[in-house]
Amino acid sequence: MNKLFCLLIICFLSFTNGFSQTKSQVYDQPFSEDALLKNLENLSSDAFEGRRTGTRGGIKARKYIINEFHKFDIHPLLKTFEQPFSFTEDDVYYEGANVLGLIKGTKFPNKYIVVSAHYDHEGIKNGVIYNGADDNASGVSALFSFAEYLKNHPPQYSVILAAFDAEELGLQGSKYFVEHSKVGMNQIVFNINMDMISRSDKNELYAVGTGHFKFLKPIIFSIKSKEGFKLKTGHDEGNWRDDWTHASDHGSFFKKGIPFLYFGVEDHEDYHEPTDDYENIQPDFYGNTVKAILSVFEKLDKVKF
């Protein structure tokens, strides 16, 4: 009888221990890191020909993004996922399209947080493909991780997942979005923008915007990061050599008075070079950046805007 009782206790402890481990694993893995890396690898492969706006590779990237949104039951913001636009830059006419997905909020369905990343890059120059792994296949792949996470953790605010086109040609996609949005600018309460987040020899990710919006500093400082990974503020006011306030698509929102956080790394040797390839990203750092950004989002989703 005692042996049977002991056996039952051992089985019970084994079960509860396994359950605790499962909960811990779920908490530590808010998204599939394998999928994060695979999407980055795919988007920065030669098959997408550098994703220049209006080219075959750029259109292929657009279709890839839409397919990934479908996987997580993301709804289109408009009648379709695409928001086409055109512009002229240096006497060259371009046709581009933003890809816009929507996740309805549970508490504030008519107020929106825009989570953005640009999917275009430099294309092909002199027969050489500029794959743009860090710039900015990394940000776009992170959008899919957001989609995966939010499917299982519905947000309080509605979330627009925005893959902007033509950032490299003067923020054209985000400019068009803020000027022709179905959603009123007074309904957009925040922008999180991701551009170059997959590598840093210093293990440093910058959160830019706290200099303009002071309420963000406590949020950033409250984020607990893994040892060796640094989430830093700066590059937005003061004595910084480079001010990133208008460096990417968040600049279009800032001009409309919308608070933002831009997540990015300092320029590296492969910035806007044909060597910005998947092989040069840092998978552990990349996974940590996306987890940190998701942690910031979770806190912002609880702020009363």
Domain ranges of the chain: 1-30, 31-300
pLDDT band at 240 (very low <50, low <70, confident <90, very high): low
| Confidence check: pLDDT of 46 > 50 | yes
SS3 content of the chain, % helix, strand, coil (to 5): 40, 20, 35
Q: Which residue has the tokens 């915007």?
A: 209
pLDDT for the residue 13: 40
Sign for the CA dihedral angle at 133, 136, 139, 143 comes to negative
State whether residue 110 is helix, strand or coil: strand
pLDDT tens digits for range 247-279: 999 999 999 999 999 999 999 999 999 999 999
Tell me: the pLDDT tens digits for 2-23? 444 444 444 444 433 443 333 3
Mind listing the pLDDT tens digit for each residue in 100-137?
A: 999 999 999 999 999 999 999 999 999 999 999 999 99
**pLDDT tens, residue by residue, 278-288:** 999 999 999 99
Q: Which amino acid is present at 276?
A: D
Q: What average pLDDT is seen over the chain?
A: 91
Q: Which pLDDT score, from 0 to 100, does residue 238 have?
A: 67
Question: In the prediction, which pLDDT does 297 show?
Answer: 98
Name the burial class of residue 241, with classes exposed (0-12), middle (13-18) and buried (19+) by CB atoms within 10 angstroms of its CB.
exposed
Residue 225's pLDDT band (cuts 50, 70, 90): confident
Distance between CA 72 and CA 144 in Å, rounded? 8
Instruction: Assign domain 31-300 to a CATH class.
Output: alpha beta
Residue 224's nearest CA partner among 299, 276, 274, 153 is 299
**Residue written as tokens 């359950």?**
19
Kindly state the DSSP code that residue 235 receives in the 8-state scheme: S
Considering the entire predicted model, what is its pTM? 0.90
If one counts every other C-beta atom within 10 angstroms of the C-beta of residue 240, the result is 14
